[in-house]
Amino acid sequence: MEFLPITTVDFERFVLILVRVSSILFSAPLLGSTVVPPFVKVGFSAAVSLALFPAAAPTVLLKEVPLYELAGLALGEVMLGVTIGLLARLFVAAIDLGAEIVGFQMGFGIVTAVDPTTQAHTALLAQFQSAITALMILATDAHHFFFRAIADSFGRISLMGFSPNLDLWNLFLRTSREMFVIAMKFAAPATVVLLLTSIALGIVARTVPQMNIFIVGISLQIVVGFTVFFLSVSMLGLLYGQILTEMGGTLLRLVRVF
């Protein structure tokens, strides 16, 4: 007696769907963070795959395939999922880069700590900015773009249908270029003020040689940098909205270039 009408072909279809979904979620920002327990990621990926199975499965794998061939097909799904996740991470990395630029100008170039989301040594100010970015993604429902990209990917790119093309590389080049533009937009207010502060300290050092400008300058730049940084954070809401909207649009353009 069969309790579930599941055939071997259906199981292989589900495995391919699960591989694509889990690759996207494991590599996407916020959801793919190492802070999120692995069993939560696996369970969430399985739930999303089950929800998409009726719509995505019937068009492929009309017959059973050998295990080695299934592994090769799964590799293509991994490449597609990692591509989507990496493209989304570029936007978050741009914001972190802007914070690192500000921290370097403040004199925090050698102050690093282990980032819990990447397990890498990053600037202290970048970690603070990363936490703000995560809150903005959740507050603006920008994480819904990931799920829409997953659903649209099955409509645009059938299982076993991923093949890199020139439009994909051009999209990555444009996004990489925009990454540095976004970083400079975030860092511009504090960078300009800190540059003017450095110029003023240089003038004071020339006019008042008796003053220990090195000790005074470090403290002053830290105070000015934090003041401008916290004041500018409250005014970056529109910029955050533009960046997260652009991230969603780029993810949708990615699945439509095939």
Residue-level pLDDT at 170: 85
Per-residue pLDDT, averaged over 4-29, amounts to 80
Residue-level pLDDT at 2: 46
Per-residue pLDDT, averaged over 235-244, amounts to 80
* pTM recorded for the entire structure: 0.77
Specify the range with the lowest mean pLDDT, choosing from 20-24, 85-89, 253-257. Answer: 253-257
For the chain, give the mean pLDDT: 78
Digit-coded pLDDT (tens) for 49-66: 888 887 775 555 545 566
Per-residue pLDDT, averaged over 101-108, amounts to 78
Q: Is the pLDDT of residue 187 over 60?
A: yes
Q: Which residue has the higher pLDDT, 216 or 25?
A: 25
Supply angle C-alpha 238, 241, 243, rounded to 5. 110
Q: Is the pLDDT of residue 247 over 80?
A: yes
Digit-coded pLDDT (tens) for 119-166: 555 667 777 778 888 888 888 888 888 888 888 888 777 776 677 778
Residue-level pLDDT at 210: 75
What share of the chain in percent tops pLDDT 90? 0
Residue-level pLDDT at 1: 38
Question: Using CA atoms, how far apart are residues 50 and 136, in angstroms rounded to an integer?
Answer: 29
Digit-coded pLDDT (tens) for 170-179: 888 888 888 8
Digit-coded pLDDT (tens) for 190-237: 888 888 888 888 888 788 777 777 777 778 888 888 888 778 777 777
